[in-house]
């Protein structure tokens, strides 16, 4: 820019918000190594992802891929359908940064329908919660594998948040970022795509950590097996290079098989022991038209979807965790817990 003017490419970058001052994005430089490291890692988790999908949807799921490449906001948005379901699952510890799952609205509906066993499903709050729970079950094995391969035990992510939005408003990382594309078959032969996005900072941190973890161990120091001659005799190593004196032999001590929480783990859980959470008991639900709701008055009886005597639902932060029976304590109502809901049952409720 010797004449002080901006080129068309620089103007486009400024309009897209991709140019800050005079600095240009350089994430793609040296990205081949990062792409290969992330490709190897994600490929190693595909079978686990397919098994998780199959368990939650009760279908024979096949996942092909992933295909990884560095891209940017404009290029990825061009590939997306008009309306997409986006799930933010950013890492907030270990490798903090952006981590986003994207799928077509039709794909999200198909998945939610299988998980809830409902045919005509809409992408309402309930369906979005189901998709968020699915991604939570996908991220868990990824974090476990990352911890194993990098040795970083502090990796954690936020609780996945799903939303159904036009593709133009999808929040994507700035600059060049890594995108993995998977081919998903839910058992009906209809192959659908879904995208997994890693922010530049996350990609760089994971690649660097895996590079350190895979570095070869230092070679052992050379043995001091010199021989000295004294009066025609030799001391040191004997025939075949073996020492003339036997080494001190000790029995092998194996660690116990039962896992024990470390002091750090106990301390971490202690940090949240005094956090308040909202607990509610739900007697039942029903659906009403707006005109029916407006017509309600004193004395109106609302019929719920539960029979008298059925267990009531116990929810923590609007998530079903248990069932129980209503009891009376002095003059107050109470609930006696009769069943703790398993994760699989939580998916279908």
Is residue 204 in a domain? Answer: yes
Q: 256: helix, coil or strand?
A: coil
pLDDT for residue 238? 46
Tokens of 23: 């600095």
Q: What is the per-residue pLDDT across 105-115, written as a single tens digit (0 to 9) for each? A: 999 998 988 88
Q: Which domain, by its residues, includes 160?
A: 12-211
pLDDT of residue 180: 94
pLDDT exceeds 50 at position 231: no
Q: Are residues 56 and 157 in the same domain?
A: yes
* Mean pLDDT computed over 308-336: 87
Tell me which residue of 162, 151, 266, 268 sits closest to 214, measured CA to CA.
Answer: 151
pLDDT at 273 over 90: no
In a domain, 170, yes or no: yes
pLDDT at 22 over 60: no
Q: Please compute the mean of the pLDDT values over residues 306-330 and round it to a whole number.
A: 86
Q: Phi, psi (5° rounding) for residue 307?
A: -85, 155
**Gap between the Cα atoms of 46 and 115, Å rounded:** 20
Any domain includes 194: yes
- Using the predicted structure, report yes or no on whether residue 126 has a pLDDT greater than 60: yes
For 250-283, give one letter per residue: b (16+ CB within 10 A) or e.
Answer: eeeeeeeeeeeeeeeeeeeeeeeeeeeeeeeeee
Q: Is residue 269 a part of any domain in this protein?
A: no
For residues 169 and 286, membership in a common domain is answered with no
Assess whether 313 and 204 both reside in one domain. Answer: no
Number of Cα atoms under 13 Å in the Cβ half of residue 191: 7
The CATH number linked to 340 is 2.30.330.10
In a domain, 123, yes or no: yes
The least confident of 70-74, 211-215, 297-301 is 211-215
Element (H or E) spanning 315, and its range? strand 312-316
Between 57 and 197, name the one with better pLDDT.
Answer: 197
Give the mean pLDDT of 179-189. Answer: 89
Are 286 and 192 members of one domain? no
CA 68 to chain centre: 17
More reliable by pLDDT, 29 or 68: 68
Check pLDDT > 70 for residue 187: yes
Does residue 42 share a domain with residue 127?
Answer: yes
Average pLDDT, rounded, for the chain: 78
Least confident of 20-34, 44-58, 68-82, 276-290: 20-34
In a domain, 331, yes or no: yes
Dist CA 16 CA 10 (whole Å): 10
The last residue of one of the domains, among 211, 232, 263, is 211
Strand (E) positions, 118-241? 156-157, 161-166, 177-185, 191-198, 228-230, 233-235
- Residue 220 is predicted with a pLDDT of 55
pLDDT band at residue 307 using 50, 70 and 90 as cut-offs: confident
**CATH (domain of 118):** 3.40.1550.10
Is the pLDDT score of 195 beyond 60? yes
Regarding whether 281 and 205 lie in a shared domain, the answer is no
Q: Are residues 39 and 117 in the same domain?
A: yes
Quick: pLDDT tens for 37-56. 999 999 999 998 888 888 88
Residues of the chain with pLDDT > 70: what percent?
A: 72
> Which of the listed residues 195, 211, 227 is the one where a domain comes to its end?
211
Task: Assess whether 179 and 104 both reside in one domain.
Answer: yes
Q: Are residues 177 and 281 in the same domain?
A: no
- Is the separation of the CB atoms in 49 and 64 below 8 Å? no
Domain finish residue from 175, 192, 211? 211
- Determine the pLDDT at residue 268: 61
206 with 344, same domain? no
Packed helices 105-116 and 125-150: angle between N→C axes, nearest 10 degrees: 90
Q: Report the domain count for the chain.
A: 2
Quick one: average pLDDT of 224-229?
45
For residues 89 and 246, the model is more confident at: 89
Report if residue 147 sits inside a domain.
yes
Question: Can you give the pLDDT at residue 73?
Answer: 92
Is residue 20 situated within a structural domain?
yes
Specify whether 20 is located in the same domain as 137: yes
Question: In this structure, are 62 and 201 located in the same domain?
Answer: yes
User: Residue 173: what pLDDT?
Assistant: 92
Q: Give every CB contact of residue 259 below 8 A, 6+ residues apart in sequence.
A: none
């Amino acid at each position: 820019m010797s004449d002080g003017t901006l080129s068309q490419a620089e103007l486009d970058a400024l309009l897209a918000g991709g140019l800050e001052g005079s600095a240009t994005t350089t994430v793609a430089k040296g990205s081949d190594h990062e792409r290969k490291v992330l490709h190897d890692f994600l490929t190693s988790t595909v079978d686990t992802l397919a098994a998780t999908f199959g368990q939650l949807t009760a279908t024979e799921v096949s996942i092909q891929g992933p295909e990884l490449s560095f891209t940017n906001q404009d290029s990825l948005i061009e590939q997306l359908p008009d309306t997409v379901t986006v799930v933010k699952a950013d890492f907030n510890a270990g490798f903090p940064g952006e981590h986003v799952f994207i799928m077509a609205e039709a794909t999200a509906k198909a998945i939610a329908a299988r998980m809830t066993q409902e045919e005509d499903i809409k992408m309402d709050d309930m369906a979005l919660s189901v998709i968020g729970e699915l991604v939570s079950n996908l991220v868990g094995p990824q974090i476990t594998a990352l911890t194993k391969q990098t040795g970083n035990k502090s990796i954690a992510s936020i609780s996945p948040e799903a939303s159904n939005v036009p593709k133009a408003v999808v929040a994507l990382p700035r600059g060049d970022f890594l995108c993995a594309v998977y081919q998903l078959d839910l058992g009906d032969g209809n192959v659908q795509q879904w995208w997994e996005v890693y922010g530049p900072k996350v990609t760089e941190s994971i690649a660097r950590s895996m590079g350190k973890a895979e570095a070869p161990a230092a070679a052992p120091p050379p043995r001091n097996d010199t021989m000295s001659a004294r009066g025609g005799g030799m001391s040191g190593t004997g025939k075949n290079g073996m020492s003339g004196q036997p080494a001190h032999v000790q029995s092998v001590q194996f660690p116990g098989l039962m896992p024990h929480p470390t002091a750090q783990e106990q301390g971490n859980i202690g940090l949240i022991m005094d956090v308040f959470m909202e607990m509610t008991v739900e007697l039942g639900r029903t659906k009403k038209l707006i005109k029916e709701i407006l017509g309600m008055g004193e004395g109106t009886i609302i019929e719920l979807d539960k029979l008298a005597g059925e267990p009531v639902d116990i929810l923590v932060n609007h998530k079903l965790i248990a069932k129980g029976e209503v009891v009376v304590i002095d003059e107050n109502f109470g609930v006696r817990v009769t069943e703790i809901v398993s994760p699989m049952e939580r998916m279908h409720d």
